[in-house]
Amino acid sequence: MKVKLHPTWLLLGVCILFSISLEPVHAKDAPKPKRPAIYDELADGSKQIAAALLQAKKENKHVLLQFGANWCGWCHKLHTLCQTDQRITEKLKQDYVVVLVDVNQGHNQDVDTKYGHPMRLGLPALVVLDADGKQLTTQNSGKLEEGDHHKPELVLAFLNDWAPRKRP
């Protein structure tokens, strides 16, 4: 005896077999895009700062320390803003020597301690030094945020407030 299957039943059977063989894919399983490393995870923060202070002294600038880590999304957002907003980029070039201090997993903990534990404010944390190394301010970068980003006007106002006074 020959059994004749209706095409609809045959198609349904194939679909069921196919769906059973597939593993479910969830958004959480999808690979996350890797961020570029903006912090040197091997750098000695004290040496970075010493070199920046020498440069700042020669160029009559302040030193801007950005404490952060490569895994920190907000660190990447601030870094990208500083590279893409022309007003901020120019202000940084004109008045600051920028040092990205890696603090991943306790790295450069001595630097964090020296500057009063700015990491307690969250990441990224900002510290401004004058050319002699005197700490002028510590800033919670959360105060420069608006929604899901850093507000360019707030970042620029911060940089203007702490820029060195130029001699006439």
pLDDT for 26 equals 52
CATH class entry, domain 45-162: alpha beta
Q: What are the extents of the domains in the chain?
A: 45-162
Question: Per-residue confidence of the chain (168 residues) as pLDDT tens digits?
Answer: 555 656 665 555 555 555 554 455 455 555 566 779 999 999 999 999 999 999 999 999 999 999 999 999 999 999 999 999 999 999 999 999 999 999 999 999 999 999 999 999 999 999 999 999 999 999 999 999 999 999 999 999 999 999 998 766
pLDDT for 128 equals 98
pTM, full prediction: 0.80
Residue with token string 């500083």: 82
